[in-house]
Amino acid sequence: MLFKEPDVYVFETHRGLWFEDGAYKKILEPGRYEIPKHLDFRFYRTPKIQIKLVDMRERDLTIKGQEILTADKVAIRVSIIVQYKVADPKPALLQVDNYEERLYSDVQLAARRSLANMSLEAILTNRNSLSEDILKEVKGIAQRYGVDIMRADVKDLIFPGDVQEIMNRVLKAERISQAQMVEAKSRAEIELLDAKTVIGKQVIEAENRAKMDEIKAEADAKTLAVKTESDAKALTVRTESEIKNSKARLEAEKEQVQIKKESAELFKAYPHLVRLEEIKAFQSIVKNSNAKIYMGLDETLIGKIEKD
């Protein structure tokens, strides 16, 4: 009996596993594959070819809410989302019956073990730690059957009613506390800004005063230098003038001395000139009506006359 199988197409998103009479032979890369004719006679037959396709794209798997007890005996429901892809199609098909169902159960068990070792407070304060624990535990297990897990995150956490009410109160208190912290921080920033502004003004004023003092000091120094220079010039002028006057007086005194010397020599050579000078002196005295002249009298007689 002769059978003709249709051709098989393996797309880029898939890989194919080639089986001959149920035995695995090879992995098929993307492309078109022709299935050989199957011959089945009474004493002769060819192997029956089967190709199974495996999707290699990334996919999401959601582990729906599972009620799990925490370390402090609080029942919570957790939902987990897993992103995975088939890395090796051979073990994914040959080592497990259904790799998606196996992955589902592995993640579920890992979540139970992780939550059983964590308290409610630890779960609330560090939710990422739960996701990291699940991913760490499941990643190695899934690689055994050819599945690579990229991430496993806790999607939802559902708590009992009383716990939810307590959590709402805690969250409300945290929001109030955060609002107060933000307000306090804003006030502190405003106060700091005001302080910086005041300090900035003081610094500017101090710099301005320092500049004014520097300018004043420069002006005073210039004024003092000008005054000193003027005083020095004036002192130089006065000194030069005094030196000139002194020289002039000295020359005049020399001339007077010379005149007196010459007069003395003249009077010595001509005695009658002395008499002439005396006459001139008497003439100038006579012009004064109150003048008194005493000639040839001693001092006692002159004093008595003046008394009377």
- The per-residue pLDDT for 185 is 83
- State the pLDDT at residue 2: 47
DSSP 158-190: E--HHHHHHHHHHHHHHHHHHHHHHHHHHHHHH
pLDDT of residue 169: 67
Contact present, 106 and 152 (Cβ < 8 Å): no
Whole-Å CA distances, 41 to 1, 254, 256:
6, 172, 176
pLDDT at 168: 58
pLDDT at 170: 61
Looking at the chain, which runs of residues are DSSP E strands? 2-3, 8-10, 14-20, 23-28, 31-33, 38-39, 49-55, 59-69, 75-86, 147-158
Residues 144 and 103 sit within 8 Å (Cβ to Cβ)? no
Residue found under tokens 């955060």: 178
Predicted local distance difference test score (pLDDT) of residue 78: 85
Q: How far apart are CA 140 and CA 103, in angstroms?
A: 11
Q: What pLDDT does residue 171 have? A: 59
Residue listed under structure tokens 């003081």: 202
pLDDT at residue 37, rounded to an integer? 80
Report whether 78 contacts 66 (CB < 8 A).
Answer: yes
Question: What does the pLDDT read at residue 226?
Answer: 80
pLDDT at 198: 82
DSSP state of 84: E
* Mean pLDDT of each 10-residue bin along the chain, 308 residues long: 70 93 92 83 80 93 81 83 94 93 92 84 79 89 94 82 60 73 82 81 84 84 81 80 80 77 71 70 69 60 60
Q: Report the pLDDT value the prediction gives residue 248, as an integer from 0 to 100.
A: 80
- Domains belonging to the chain, first-starting first, are 2-55 (no CATH), 59-159 (3.30.479.30), 270-307 (no CATH)
- Rounded to whole angstroms, what are the CA distances from 297 to 88, 255, 302, 304? 167, 37, 7, 11
